[in-house]
Amino acid sequence: MVNEGPTEKKHVKALVIGAGPAGLCGAIAIAESIGDGKQILVVDEGIVPGGQLPKQTHKFFGHEGFYASVRGFEIGEKLVSKATDLGVQFSMQTTVAGIYEDSIVTYDRNNNSVDEYTADYLLIATGASERFLVFRNNTLPGVYGAGAVQTLMNQYKVMPGESFLIVGAGNIGLIVAYQLLQAGANVKAIVEASSKIGGYMVHANKIMRLGVPIMLNHTIVSALGEERVQGAIVARVDEHFKPIPGTEKEFVVDTICLAVGLQPSVELVAQTGAEIKYISELGGYVPIRDENMKTTADNVYIAGDLSGIEEASTAMIEGYIAGYNIAQKITGQDLSEKISTMKDELIEFRKGPFASKVREGLKKMNILFPSGGYRERTQQSTGPNGKLRAVIECPQAIPCNPCETSCPTGAINVGKNINSIPYVDYDKCIGCGVCVMKCPGLAIFLLQEKEDYSIVGIPYEFLPIPENGTIVKLFDKDGRYVADGQIDKVSVNRKEKTHLVFLRVPKGMENIVRHFDLAINSEEYVCRCEEVSRQDVEKVIDSGITDYEEIRRILRIGMGPCGGKTCRNVVLQIIAEKTKIPISESKLGAFRPPVIPLPIDAIVKSRKGVDKDE
């Protein structure tokens, strides 16, 4: 038997661990600076590069320089294409098994092989892992992390269930809930142990106007079921986040989705000898690093969620900072201008209130970021009556400005600080709706008062796309039914998939209506015996016929086997709703015999005197 020698080590100038937004941007920065992408290898466990991006179907916040208003999976495609064009090499479905003093060992699942690498520089961008939650029966099939739900649903087109309870109201929980609703799932509720919603309010508002309750100060205490999840018990918590006995509520669901936070994946960077420290504001244990993203280990840099849990935009910026610093050392070039530009971007992104925890965490590494200088007050005016105009309902200072940059007339102002709440100059606004379709938070609407009704333009990301003239149910900001309305017209945006649906709503409700439901057009049967729908009844009433007996003659309501036991009161209620006449003042209609259907042969036999037994 031949004893083969050790595997030959492969060498690269830069090895990037992690093909998410941070790793991709780092690889791009190095490749474009050194001019030889083949000297950069990106290793990742995923099937395709992009990290979390391929499973993100929502539009990102930020500004256009970092793909604001572009959907996550499209950002991933753009970054991968850019890296590939620069010659960057990828080793997918490959795990870095260990970092040793003299080599980096990888395991290639495709080829079932182990390789050894050496590298002049390491950029570790391994991201974060999901936190777990302890509760009774948490091992039942049907309990998923939010990332698993997104992977199944958005990458593999597999729905893990039909009815969901979401645990956690941070951005991840809110985004997954919205994506589940888009896919046709029933999201029963979102429970959050804290006293406030942790994610952006624009994300929460999207959920609430779809009728999903967000239960603050609540947590899950038990999953129900024998072989898989069949329900969940939640309870209110006290100031110590302990369930309060007697406050339990039960939900009938088949899937529990945990979105209770992330923790940096520090295992590999710890193997380099870099110093690790627990900083709660950054998500837990994180590597100590400087403002150039360099760790305390020689030639080892980090970026993205590994350095502290934050947004994808800042992960990309950190990737560029790390990448340009590595490239500067490899080539000896002066890349300080590019590095400074990216650092300025980070300063701008981190000035807002949502970055306060990150600023506090970085302060513990002696990395200081300024705050403030942004507008927090929302605009009070909704514009001039009668003019088609944009109304922005963005209640928080978050780093985002596509509404400003997309407006063709310059009517929307965010200002120098990207965290400022946008204002509308109604003298310049022409009601074109571009901002409505660009807004990542779906927080912009169009309003116009007409003589007999009002128009509300709603951003819409569901299927099917409604048709003009369709009668719909109208809902307010909290998902409560408020009136019936009608589709006036639809502006279809097939490129960005955010359509603009114009609704005719009762006058005076233009500041109330924020969602609609097409369910009114489905077969809502009033009389199941004769298959008469609610819409059939309403059409007859709208034609001027409001008497129950007349409606019965036209539609055959109550002439089936039940004799009207099921449908009579329902029809009378519809008459009362449509005519505004109390049901107590409506004519009940005649009760004619027979009260049950009689077989014809039974009647014939009785008339002829035929023996019943014959």
Residues 41 and 116 in one domain: yes
Is it the case that residue 6 has pLDDT exceeding 60?
no
Tell me how far apart the alpha carbons of residues 572 and 587 are, in angstroms, rounded to a whole number: 9
Q: Are 193 and 428 in contact (CB under 8 A)?
A: no
Min mean pLDDT across 34-38, 360-364, 578-582, 608-612 is at 608-612
Q: Which pLDDT band, with edges at 50, 70 and 90, does 609 fall under?
A: low
- Percentage of the chain exceeding pLDDT 90: 82
Residues 352 and 456 in one domain: no
Tell me how far apart the alpha carbons of residues 46 and 23 are, in angstroms, rounded to a whole number: 13
Q: Which residue has the tokens 């002829």?
A: 608
pLDDT of residue 608: 63
* Domain presence at residue 165: yes
Average of per-residue pLDDT values in the chain: 93
Out of 521, 538, 557, a domain closes at 521
Tell me how far apart the alpha carbons of residues 329 and 352 are, in angstroms, rounded to a whole number: 33
pLDDT of residue 521: 44
Q: Are 26 and 16 in contact (CB under 8 A)?
A: yes
pLDDT digits (tens, 9 = 90+) for 353-376: 999 999 999 999 999 999 999 999
Out of 504, 521, 538, a domain closes at 521
Total domains in the chain come to: 4
Per the structure, the complete domain to which residue 188 belongs is given by 132-260
Tell me how far apart the alpha carbons of residues 419 and 374 are, in angstroms, rounded to a whole number: 6
pLDDT digits (tens, 9 = 90+) for 238-259: 999 999 999 999 999 999 999 9
Residues 247 and 142 in one domain: yes
* Domain presence at residue 5: no
pLDDT of residue 610: 53
CATH number reported for the structural domain that contains residue 538 in this entry: 1.10.10.1100
CA distances (Å), 171 to each of 176, 205, 312, 544, in order? 8, 12, 12, 50
86 or 579, which is more confident? 86
* Domain presence at residue 374: no
Contacts of 435 (CB under 8 A, 6+ apart): 390, 392, 402, 403, 406, 407, 412, 444
Residues 227 and 297 in one domain: no
Residues 150 and 229 in one domain: yes
